[in-house]
Amino acid sequence: MLTLLSYHQKVLDHFKHQTKTWDFFTASQNKDEQLNQYKTELLKNTYKFDPEKDTSIYEKVAKSKQVLGLDINVYVYQAQYSDELNASVGFVNNEAHIVFSGQIIQLLDDDELLTVIAHELSHIKLYTMQGGDPEVAARIITAISNNYDSESSYMETARLFRLYTEIFCDRGAYEVQGSTGPVITSLVKTATGLKQVNAESYIKQAEEIFSADQQLKAASISHPENFIRARAIHLWHEKKEAAEEEIIRMIEGVTDIDALDIFKQKELAACTRQFLQLYLKPNWFRSTLVVSQAKQYFVDFSWDDKIILEETFITRMEKAHESVKNYFSYVLLDFALLDSTLEEIPFGWAFQFAEDIDIKETFDAVVKKELNLSDKKLQQHKQKTLSAFYNVKEGDGEQIYEG
């Protein structure tokens, strides 16, 4: 049974809480006029398959509709003036219009063609779930990400939303077809134009890629949908719901600060707040300059006198992407150099804190680079500042260590 993927639900819930935006995109439209214009353009630029004469295609449509539980009218077309191997679907006013382009129909066998039709109709299945809310969410994130001055986090969210949509539709195709082979071979044939493809060989190829690089994710592959989607449907076939965690890890990977979606952006912000509350906890560190700088990070920044360094935070930093460790190293350096009246104490505390949270090597590299220090000078600087920090008398309430 097809269910909404967790990422779709997160995006949907996020925008539903933005009432004005949600209401704007759910406002009623002139769907009859929209449908007529859409169909006219299709008829101008395609060949429309006849349900009575092109029975082979429409039998596959009927089977897909039955398995997916869709009660809609479906029409199939072949695009003119296009050599690109592709299939797409439009859905207006309870009518689905599947458009093939290039020689894709001739390239695919019957099982693969059924798979592609089922995949396209699975888009409709997704967008009609929960009263059509996923379709609204898709239009919102697409519109925002297409804006020229949109934040990169929205672009990344839209990219992931689209990829998870393809994952969902591959599962729909699998439900209709009953096996993974045609799902994988139709995918590869469409991408490559090859007439013969071996699904098992392609899965081995995908497994080899991911086994070679445990931190590999979709964004780091030139055509991520091919490898990701093939491996994802294979994992789904083998493990069903138990595969979700591995599929998510494969798609999203370790958080890279240069590729944050809106959810990871919030997570990093929360982690930064906790980071600052830990590092700035000592009373001697709360000078006017430091307070002002903390407010630059978070307008509502406040100190938590009860905060302690927990193992979960250390583990999170230990497993963080190098770009995230680099980011936090620069945050440390920012405050270590901020207030000259505190002399060398903040820098010594920065060295100690970096070691405590397992970003010592990254922080050392940042200090060495930004202060233009040799290895010897770095060690001298570290010893000097650590000595200054160790001489500071702190009360029990200022410690970040339990006990």
CA 217/CA 323 separation, integer angstroms: 15
Instruction: Please provide the DSSP assignment of 26-90 as one string.
Output: HS---HHHHHHHHHHHHHHHEEEPPTTT-HHHHHHHHHHHHHHT--SEEEEEEESS--S-EEEEE
What pLDDT shows up at residue 254?
78
CA 120/CA 95 separation, integer angstroms: 13
Using a pLDDT cut of 90, give the percent of the chain over it: 79
What pLDDT shows up at residue 226?
85
Eight-state DSSP code of residue 100: E
Distance of CA 157 to the CA centre of its chain: 6
What pLDDT shows up at residue 50?
95
Strands, sheet with 46-48, edge to edge from the N-terminal-most edge strand: 46-48, 73-79, 95-101, 86-92
Q: Is the pLDDT of residue 362 over 80?
A: yes
| 176 within 8 A of 113, measured Cβ to Cβ | no
What pLDDT shows up at residue 222?
38
Question: What mean pLDDT do residues 263-281 have?
Answer: 96
Using a pLDDT cut of 70, give the percent of the chain over it: 94
Instruction: Give 198-208 pLDDT, tens digit per residue.
Output: 999 999 998 88
- Average pLDDT of the chain is 91
The pTM of the full predicted model, rounded to 2 decimals, is: 0.89
Reference 134, options 99, 169, 102, 110; nearest CA is: 169
Instruction: Please provide the DSSP assignment of 360-401 as one string.
Output: HHHHHHHHHHHTT--HHHHHHHHHHHHHHHHTS---GGG--S
**CA dihedral of residues 122, 128, 129, 135 (deg, nearest 10):** 90
- Confidence bin at 217 (pLDDT 50/70/90): low
Q: Is the pLDDT of residue 335 over 60?
A: yes
CA 146/CA 141 separation, integer angstroms: 8
Q: Is the pLDDT of residue 29 over 80?
A: no
Instruction: Give 83-121 pLDDT, tens digit per residue.
Output: 899 999 998 888 999 999 999 999 999 999 999 999 999
- Confidence bin at 258 (pLDDT 50/70/90): confident
Question: What mean pLDDT do residues 78-87 have?
Answer: 91
What pLDDT shows up at residue 221?
45
- Confidence bin at 255 (pLDDT 50/70/90): confident
What pLDDT shows up at residue 30?
56
Instruction: Give 158-200 pLDDT, tens digit per residue.
Output: 999 999 999 999 999 999 999 999 999 999 999 999 999 999 9
Question: What mean pLDDT do residues 57-74 have?
Answer: 97
What pLDDT shows up at residue 38?
78
Q: Is the pLDDT of residue 43 over 50?
A: yes
Q: Is the pLDDT of residue 218 over 60?
A: no
Q: Is the pLDDT of residue 31 over 80?
A: no
Q: Is the pLDDT of residue 7 over 60?
A: yes
